[in-house]
A and B are shown apart, each in its own frame.
Chain A
């Protein structure tokens, strides 16, 4: 099973700053199979990015995804107050299981 490792564990930033989150896979993967989610306390995860770089419906363009092989990145160009949350990457392939990273918390400095 492919393991996803997210870094850093916590990112302390201020509104207006740029957030760069990393997701590394233990084996090279097809980039079309990488998704990112945002989760706020008490809520279900919300799909942000699929196929490594495609924004889900209704997601603002300050969120962008990139990467290939084993290294993937979620970038929030300018943090808004509502963007402080935990972010997860997820790997899916042609067949299960689907796996998640352990998460990166973006906190307000």
Chain B
């Protein structure tokens, strides 16, 4: 059974960088058939897919246009995990952040992390 365990701070100051990690068990971040995603949820924006990383002989990333200039999703093969970095955050980035597995539909999710952007 695949399990995703999220970690990272719940409070970030405006203009700083939001950083979260998702540890994978029961699968590999280097899998040739999976993709590893970050999704957030807020009352104002609903569920919003942010970006993904995946391995198909090389590493690839895709990002949502809304955050493309500020986001990095990176694999960490030594720890079998992947991370999210979102730069220059504002209060509008306040949301519950989820990691999830899936190339199209998302079949396994992390537990969610409420990240509040506030000074």
Interface of A with B (CB < 8 Å)? Answer: 33, 35, 37, 43-47, 50, 56-57, 88, 90, 92, 95-103
Contacts and interface: CB of A to CB of B under 8 A. Distances in A.
A99 B104 contact: no
A103 B43 CA distance: 11
B98 interface: yes
A96 B105 contact: no
B106 A45 contact: yes
A102 to B, nearest CB: 5
User: For chain B, which range describes its interface: under 10, 10 to 19, 20 to 34, or 35 or more residues?
Assistant: 10 to 19
B65 A97 contact: yes
B52 A47 contact: no
Interface string B65-85: 100000000000000000000
Interface of B: 46-49, 52, 62-65, 98, 100, 104-107, 109-112
A96 B107 contact: no
Contacts of A100: 46-49
A46 B35 CA distance: 17
B102 to A, nearest CB: 8
A95 B62 contact: yes
A44 B62 contact: no
Nearest to A92: B104
Contacts of B52: 96
B98 A50 contact: no
Given A44-B109, A90-B105, 8 more contacts: A33-B104, A47-B105, A50-B104, A50-B105, A50-B107, A95-B62, A96-B62, A100-B46
Contact of B106 (A47, A95, A101): A47
Given A50-B104, A98-B104, A45 B65 contact: no
Given A97-B64, A102-B46, A35 B105 contact: yes
A1 to B, nearest CB: 8
B49 A98 contact: yes
A44 B98 CA distance: 8
A43 B96 CA distance: 10
